[in-house]
Structures are given as structure tokens and as C-alpha cells.
Amino acid sequence: MVLNLIFLGPPGAGKGTVAQAVMDKYKLVQVSTGDLLRAEIASGSELGKKLAEVMNAGQLVSDDLVSEMLLKDLTKKASNPDFNGVIFDGFPRTQSQASMLENILLGINQKLNAVIYIESSKESVVKRLSSRWTCEKCKKVYNTVSLPPKSEGICDDDGGNLIQRDDDKPETISKRYDTFIEKTSPLIDYYKSKGILYKYDGNVPPVDSIKAAEEIIRRIVKE
């Protein structure tokens, strides 16, 4: 069975880790629109030239161009005899992109099997991400939960002060979380209405999060 999946979750929910584990287990390939854009431009194709023009002008790549690029890539991937399915990364972000993706998949006799939403509280995301501290001198990264320095606030190697980068500060993480919820809610509602939204509690260690995702996939495969 072919499995085409999307994982959704706020930054810090462990989406990357879970997606990677699922990809390995079910031999899926990742489709990242960011990577596709870069590859298409590097290839020097007609589409690549168009994309480069848009990006060099500092404009956003239109949904039509992204659609053209996705169709080209998915057609190629799906025609591989070893094709087991894809995990989409960074796309779709809006409801109109979601229905566009639906049409693309329909056109190549594919469908989206599931959108798996890793529900994580703001509290747990902030806790997880704000544990990163960086040495002022050598830039070594510590994690106060999983990789703490020998003495608090001090680098083991050179005695430098450990500081928090702006990205790792609780207020920045909290803001990013709010933005995610606001922007992604319509997409979540959309997939719920399509009957393919599955969610689970992501406020757990990575190994349990992976198990929960795999349990959902097992259910989908059986249906």
C-alpha cells in the first residue's frame, strides 16, 4: 500500500524526528518544497529559470509555480516501481495549497492518506526548546535537560559563559507557537472536514511520540 502523509505540529513538537522514523520504517520519501525549489533552480530547466527570476526579484513563488514543480517531482517519484509514498514537508501551509495538492495527487492517481497532527502544549514546547544554552566563546551547545554542563552556566571546555540565543528564549518560542496555531488552524479544520486528520498527544518523550504515530499508521493501513 502507498502511504502519502503530512505531519503537522508546532516547532519543538518533534515533527522532524517522528517523520524521519516513519519514513525509515515504511520506506517513504520526503518531498520538501524548499529542497525542490533549490534543485529545480540548480537544474537550469525552464521552470527553474522562471523560479529564479521570481526569487531574485524578492517575490514569493506563486502557488501555480509550486504546483507545477510538485507535479513534475511527484510524477517522477510515483513512477518508480519501488515507490511506497511520500511525506510532505513545509507544504501545504494554507487551505488553498491543500486543495491544490489534492488535485495534483488526483491527477497522478494518488491520494493523501493521512494528516497526522502532533498536539503539543505551549508549555512542553517551551520547556523542550528553551533548554538549549550556547557557550559565548566556543559556541558549543548544551542542553540543560539532556546534556547539562558540569557546572551551571559555565562551558566545560573553556569556562565561557553559557548564553541563550534569541531563538532559544522562552518568549521567542512562545511567539512562534502562537503563530503556528493561528496559521495552521484553518488547515487542521480543513483536513478534519475531509476525514483524514489524526492527532495524538505529543507531550511525551520522542520514543513514545514515534510509537503513537506508528500506531495511527497501522490503523490506516488496516482500514
Annotated catalytic residues are: 15, 93, 132, 165, 176
> Which region, judged by CB under 5 A, interacts with Zn ion, from 87-95, 145-153, 156-164, 181-189?
156-164
- Kindly state the smallest distance separating residue 170's Cβ from Zn ion, in Å: 23
Q: From CA 44, how far away is CA 171, in angstroms rounded?
A: 42
> What is the size of the binding site for Zn ion (CB under 5 A)?
8
Residue closer to Zn ion, measured from CB, 136 or 178: 136
Answer for the pair 152, 132: CB distance below 8 angstroms, yes or no: no
Cell 483524514 found at: 196
> Which region, judged by CB under 5 A, interacts with Zn ion, from 29-37, 79-87, 109-117, 158-166?
158-166
- Kindly state the smallest distance separating residue 147's Cβ from Zn ion, in Å: 13
3-state secondary structure 74-106: HHHHHCCCCCCCEEEECCCCCHHHHHHHHHHHH
Residues 6+ apart with CB under 8 A from 21: 210, 213, 214
Residue closer to Zn ion, measured from CB, 163 or 181: 163
35, 158, 178, 215: residue in contact with Zn ion (rule CB under 5 A): 158
Residue 71 has a CB neighbour count (10 Å cut-off) of: 16
* Terminal-to-terminal C-alpha distance of the chain: 11
Cell 505551549 found at: 122
| Residues 176-195, mask of contacts with Zn ion (x by CB under 5 A) | --------------------
- Kindly state the smallest distance separating residue 122's Cβ from Zn ion, in Å: 31
Residue closer to Zn ion, measured from CB, 137 or 219: 137
Q: Does 160 bind Zn ion (CB under 5 A)?
A: yes
Phi, psi (degrees; rounded to nearest 5) at 109: 60, 35
- Kindly state the smallest distance separating residue 78's Cβ from Zn ion, in Å: 48
- Kindly state the smallest distance separating residue 49's Cβ from Zn ion, in Å: 45
Q: From CA 110, how far away is CA 104, in angstroms rounded?
A: 8
The cell for 212 is 503513537
Answer for the pair 181, 79: CB distance below 8 angstroms, yes or no: no
Binding to Zn ion (CB under 5 A) within 99-138 occurs at 135, 137-138
155, 187, 197, 216: residue in contact with Zn ion (rule CB under 5 A): 155
Interface ranges with Zn ion (CB under 5 A) = 135, 137-138, 140, 155, 157-158, 160
